[in-house]
Amino acid sequence: MKEVYITKAAVFLPNKVVGNSEMEEYLGFVNGKPSRSKAIVLRRNGIKQRYYALEKGGQSTHNNAEMTALAIKNLCNNDKAELQKIDLLCCGTSTPDQTMPSHGVMVHGYLPETRSIEVVSPSGVCCSGMHALKYAYMSVKIGDKERAVSTGSERIASMMTRDKFDEEMLFIETLEENPYLAFSKDFLRWMLSDGAGAFLVEAKKNTDALSLRVDWIEGCSYANQVEACMYAAADKDDSGDLVSYKDYDAKGLINSSVMSIKQDVKLLSKNILRLGFDHLQAILKKKNKTVDELTYFLPHLSSFFFEKPIEDILEENGMGIPKEKWFTNLATKGNVGAGSIYLMVEELMNSGKLKAGDQILLAVPESARFSYVFTWLTVC
């Protein structure tokens, strides 16, 4: 089978950068009051700035499909002839603009310059962008496609505006005592943001620039072992099962805040790191690889709160990676869910730091029902 390369990466970030002090000018003040939790959450997550597909006051400026299409146009330098060469479009997101049609075909609809081509839409949360990459990778590897595009994107800010939230129910002292509460419904407002990234995936590497050879992509779900942790358009019953939005009446949808994003923080703290990085140890053994070979480690962090625990669990499993090999742009780009790993790869790929032979490990955890994707790249 063919070798597969990421030959180019591009992003689209909406509007201008939003600093920490400006967030509520976009998201709004719940019940007209400044947030009591914002300062604590921001201090712990380490995010300094992000991008919103919103104007001040909360008016939307872009939808998800539109941002994704703009990232693809940037990938092709807005060249119609280059867009015409795309023969597969794979689009991952956890926040599509609608439940149907699929996110991917809506993105395709914003790209009239392209041909009528195959389009797929992996669902999921942070891993959905990596599932999109794997479909593109496999399609090129078996020779079915020649020029595929994969994307990861989110439009989350519009789900975090003040009209979507009731009075915060947790006291500030409780948040100080249990920082994992910052990952529950109300406090996710200060952690999530918007944007899109795109990769061009081909069987031939660049002749005039560096490419990233995709050596392998390994994913794993632990849904057979653990109940749902992060969810939307559903709510949990007393047994831990999700009750679909389809089973609520109009009043119940509002009273139970069913359409909001929520996390079960008890499950998050217990499982998110242990399951994923224990699995990485098994993958590396199977692939006959060690972290000592790495030049760069790109972990998708939802918050810098997880940086030290990841470092500790890697050490515990005999996979310690020196911090100088870690690369993240969480502080400057924010947590863009399925798009974050695309934004990181694009920044590193265009940084001038890479050289032929460098080895890169991508690590994407997903708390929804505990899924993980790890990818090994070689610069060539």
pLDDT per residue as tens digits for the range 17-40? 999 999 999 999 877 888 888 998
Which of 357, 167, 341, 370 minimizes the C-alpha distance to 276?
A: 370
According to the model, what pLDDT value does residue 231 have?
93
According to the model, what pLDDT value does residue 186 have?
61
Q: Is the previous residue joined to 14 through a cis bond, with omega within 30 degrees of 0? A: no
Judged on CB neighbours under 10 Å (0-12, 13-18, 19+), 173 is: exposed
According to the model, what pLDDT value does residue 52 have?
98
According to the model, what pLDDT value does residue 234 have?
95
114: CB partners within 8 A, 6+ apart: 83, 84, 86, 89, 108
The token pair that represents 258 in the structure block: 């069913």
Determine the angle formed by the axes of helices 265-287 and 307-316, rounding to 10 degrees: 40
Contact yes or no for 150/140 (Cβ under 8 A): no
The domains located in the chain, with CATH, are 5-202 (3.40.47.10), 212-226+263-379 (3.40.47.10), 230-262 (no CATH)
User: Which phi and psi (to 5°) does residue 97 adopt?
Assistant: -75, -15
According to the model, what pLDDT value does residue 170 have?
44
According to the model, what pLDDT value does residue 30 have?
79
CA distance 10 to 209: 15
CA distance 172 to 176: 6
- Residue carrying the six token digits 């009239």: 112
CA distance 367 to 271: 9
How many residues appear in the chain? 380
Judged on CB neighbours under 10 Å (0-12, 13-18, 19+), 356 is: exposed
Q: Which long-range contacts (CB under 8 A, 24 or more apart) does 72-76 make?
A: 72/10, 72/107, 72/111, 72/149, 72/151, 72/198, 73/111, 74/10, 74/11, 74/12, 74/198, 75/8, 75/9, 75/10, 75/149, 75/198, 75/199, 75/200, 76/200
Q: Which parts of the chain sit beneath pLDDT 50? A: 167-172, 181-182
* Predicted TM-score of the model (pTM): 0.94
The strand pairing partners of 8, in sequence order, are 200
